[in-house]
Structure 1
Amino acid sequence: MLVTLIVASALSPLAINIFIPSMASIARDLLAEEAIVGLGLSLYLAATALIQLVAGPLSDRYGRRPVIIGGMVLFMVGTGMCLAAEEVWLFLAGRVVQAASATGIALSRAIVRDVFERERAAAMIGYVTMGLAVAPMLGPLIGGSIDTAFGWRWVFWLLAAIGVVTIGLLLADLSETNADRGKPMRDQFKNYGALLGAGSFWSYALVSALISAVFFAFLGGAPFVAVNILHMTPAEYGLWFGLCAAGYILGNFMTAQLSERLGIKTLMVAGSAISMSAALLSLAFIVVGWLTPATVFAPMFLVGIGNGLATPTSTAGGVSVVPHAAGAAAGMLGALQIGTGALASFAASLVATRHGGPIGLFALMAAFGLGSLIVAMAARRVRNA
């Protein structure tokens, strides 16, 4: 079932950015402005955050299996809308419906927590979230190649094919893991109140959101630095960016191996410290005048490791605070990650282009890393954290 959860959790992040190289093609074909087509990204992210908030309580009420499969069916509907679009508004509506695949992100974590105790859950979540690194790394490369060879609609045909495979795996392999389902929805949404009032949950949630913000800030600001200052081609950017994804995969693997031995709090602190230090390292290189692809991207390998250590452990801790509300907790954690990441990405793009360039970008990343480190260290003094 682990492979099935990896595939299910990877579909949504793959769909987030696989279409980005095709935005100009879509704009030309649908006779729309590129800025309007760009809403296909921001609306998808916003819908992803909202869907995770709803998916958690729904899965606590009706079970993990029907909700995650239902989300994937809606993803197929949205993909069909994008394929059928002859004008931009149907395309954008399809992107919003596609975001239902976010049930795979939130509920794969809840399913792991249903099956394993907290420390072991951190190890298994480490494996599951590897898909979250591989999919965004390969998405633009695959999407750009398909668009160039066959046109943008074939990108969505590929997503449809992957969606079919995902649904097939879920139907054949995913068992129901929520043994405490059946409470009325109003009681399920009350779980959010219990989570909001739990200081230990906020410790985990803030670590998860802030450590993710380090990565999302780089996503938002680095392309401007790479293209406008370093004059890198998209292909060069993609190759260098692979260092971050490789670090994230390694960090998740380390979490899977070390979480039971060292505990999730130790790995949260270590991951936050590594990510902050990596951002400071790039900042120091740039301040002294060493602005090269290596000084911008090589430390991102360490940022990836830090995220791989802190993200699955903070997630495992967050979904363990109120065990009967694991679905709601997973949804809230996912929504906070995506929401904070979207804000961090937007802020970084402004900083990188208008207010400080690469120095401002890495200072912002270091600030997010520092915030994550402070919260992770404070979590040691929180009961049940």
Structure 2
Amino acid sequence: MSTHPAVRFFDRATPPHIFTLIIMTGLGALSMNIFLPSLPAMTTYFDTEYRVMQLSVSLYLGVNAVMQIVIGPISDRFGRRPILLGGVVIFLLATIGCLLAQNIETFLIFRMIQAVIVVGLVLGRAVVRDMHEEAQAASQIGYVTMGMAIVPMIGPAIGGKLDEVLGWQANFWLLLILGGIVLMLIWWDLGETARTKSTDFVAQFREYPELLTARRFWGYCLAAAFASGAFFSYLGGAPYVGSEVFGLSASQVGIYFGAPAVGYFFGNGISGRFSTRVGINKMILWGAIITVVGLLISTLIFLLGYGSALVFFGFTTFVGLGNGMVLPNATSGMLSVRPHLAGTASGLGGAMMLGGGAALSALAGDVLTEGSGAMPLLLMMLTTSLMGVAAIVYTIRREAQVTKA
């Protein structure tokens, strides 16, 4: 049962309203993808090559993963509120730097600094865990990340229209305005939720073995990493499959590409509604199985010779649906293994998901060659999904052993 005071909107003496958490976490997702349609125009503006311009994505992800490891321990030491406020201020300054950059090197430096906005995602989850017990935390994380699921569906469309009408800089002006709104929301609404703080970093690092040697923590981390790995594989290979295998135009690929996001939205809704009632382990297991079933059916259809773009992209909805059930609950699980290290666990778990997913995304691009068809990508997604099922089954059994002991 929560010992925090009741939530009151715009009251810094109470924990934040869920609206603040949704907007706070959504800004990071928007910062990642809103400018993607502008990459060709930005390549011309900075007089560089497209592969160099793409570093604005890969470098951002790399810094993002590293910062997830660092932010958690810092917030466990100093609290959630000051780190969130500082992170958003740095994001705003970096966004101004992106707007003022006159060459690609300067832009990429400020773009990497923009990755600090990951504080919203890492500490948004930690704040929820501070406020609620395990099952209810999973429910609340489901609602928070359901808001994030909308961003990948609408972000690139908004960015493309802004670029067409006002130029690529309009995307970063929008991020600057939204960042200012998020800063005000945090300032006025987000009271400190970390009840206990570590005394110093040395003492905190001494506690790392307690987290890193917890098998349930690794079980939940691996369940989340393998589940998201299927989606990251899709991100790396689906554009190639759509354009080269099925001959779709860029606009058609863009429409089909959002299929997992639709499933993810509903999966998060299911988590928000049923996690408290059903329990996180069952939700993770069902979500992982749903992903496997969808990919298995798709693979069988392709093996029978009836594969098509509609089949391939349509069944990836199951990947999003399963992820929406797995990720909020697995996140709540990894944060609940050692609640006093919730910030550290959130950062480390997030870094594992992002780092592993980025590697699978790159691998997906390598296995797809001319004439290979969609099968290598389907098999990769199916394999990582099966490993996700194995991870949660192991975790459930481990928990049962601990309970009996």
TM bucket normalised to smaller:
over 0.9
**Partner AA of 2:346 in structure 1:** A
**Partner AA of 1:203 in structure 2:** G
Q: Distance in 2 between matches of 1:48 and 1:227?
A: 29
Q: Distance in 2 between matches of 1:162 and 1:181?
A: 30
1:380 correspondence with 2:388? no
SS of residue in 2 equivalent to 1:32: coil
1:22 correspondence with 2:38? yes
1:210-289 residue pairs with structure 2 within 5 A?
210-289=226-305
> Offset of 1:224 from its aligned partner?
0.6
Please name the residue that 1:364 is paired with. 380
Determine if contact 2:245/2:374 at 8 Å carries over to the other structure: no
Determine if contact 1:61/1:183 at 8 Å carries over to the other structure: yes
Determine if contact 1:65/1:176 at 8 Å carries over to the other structure: yes
Determine if contact 1:249/1:305 at 8 Å carries over to the other structure: yes
The range that moved more, 349-358 or 184-193, is 349-358
The correspondence for 2:176, drawn from 153, 160, 174, is 160
The correspondence for 2:159, drawn from 143, 150, 153, is 143
The correspondence for 2:354, drawn from 338, 349, 353, is 338
For residues 271-311 of structure 1, what are the alpha-carbon distances to aligned partners after superposition, in whole Å with 9 as ceiling and x for unaligned? Answer: 11111221222222222222322101111111111001110
> Offset of 1:238 from its aligned partner?
2.5
Determine if contact 1:217/1:361 at 8 Å carries over to the other structure: yes
Q: Distance in 2 between matches of 1:341 and 1:141?
A: 24
Determine if contact 1:276/1:368 at 8 Å carries over to the other structure: no
Q: Distance in 1 between matches of 2:336 and 2:326?
A: 15
Determine if contact 1:272/1:369 at 8 Å carries over to the other structure: yes
**Taking structure 1 as reference, are residues 363 and 29 closer, same or farther at Cα in structure 2, changes over 3 Å only?**
same
The correspondence for 1:297, drawn from 309, 313, 320, is 313
**Partner AA of 1:359 in structure 2:** M
Determine if contact 1:55/1:106 at 8 Å carries over to the other structure: yes
> Offset of 1:182 from its aligned partner?
4.5
**Taking structure 1 as reference, are residues 191 and 139 closer, same or farther at Cα in structure 2, changes over 3 Å only?**
farther
**Partner AA of 1:276 in structure 2:** V
Q: Distance in 2 between matches of 1:371 and 1:8?
A: 32
> Offset of 1:355 from its aligned partner?
8.4
- TM-score normalised over the length of structure 2: 0.92
The correspondence for 1:94, drawn from 102, 110, 128, is 110
Q: Distance in 1 between matches of 2:186 and 2:234?
A: 33
Structure 1 spans left out of the alignment, 5+ residues: none
The range that moved more, 275-284 or 62-71, is 275-284
Please name the residue that 2:77 is paired with. 61
Q: Distance in 1 between matches of 2:281 and 2:41?
A: 46
**Partner AA of 1:256 in structure 2:** G
> Offset of 1:353 from its aligned partner?
3.5
> Offset of 1:354 from its aligned partner?
5.7
For residues 141-165 of structure 1, what are the alpha-carbon distances to aligned partners after superposition, in whole Å with 9 as ceiling and x for unaligned? Answer: 1111111221111111111111111
For residues 87-144 of structure 1, what are the alpha-carbon distances to aligned partners after superposition, in whole Å with 9 as ceiling and x for unaligned? Answer: 0011111111000000111111100000000010000000111133111222221111
**Percent of aligned positions with the same letter in both sequences?**
38
> Offset of 1:357 from its aligned partner?
3.3
> Offset of 1:259 from its aligned partner?
1.0
Q: Distance in 2 between matches of 1:356 and 1:318?
A: 38
**Which one has a bigger Cα radius of gyration?**
2
Determine if contact 1:12/1:104 at 8 Å carries over to the other structure: yes
Structure 2 spans left out of the alignment, 5+ residues: 1-16
Determine if contact 1:141/1:238 at 8 Å carries over to the other structure: no
SS of residue in 2 equivalent to 1:176: coil
Q: Distance in 2 between matches of 1:132 and 1:352?
A: 29
1:199 correspondence with 2:208? no
Q: Distance in 1 between matches of 2:37 and 2:114?
A: 18
SS of residue in 2 equivalent to 1:319: helix
Q: Distance in 2 between matches of 1:83 and 1:183?
A: 40
The range that moved more, 323-332 or 134-143, is 134-143
Q: Distance in 2 between matches of 1:347 and 1:119?
A: 35
Please name the residue that 1:313 is paired with. 329
Kindly tell me the number of residue pairs found equivalent between the two proteins: 385
1:81 correspondence with 2:97? yes
Determine if contact 2:20/2:185 at 8 Å carries over to the other structure: yes
CA RMSD of aligned residues (A): 1.4
SS of residue in 1 equivalent to 2:336: coil
Determine if contact 1:27/1:33 at 8 Å carries over to the other structure: yes
The range that moved more, 323-332 or 73-82, is 73-82
**Partner AA of 2:277 in structure 1:** R
Please name the residue that 1:3 is paired with. 19
- TM-score normalised over the length of structure 1: 0.97
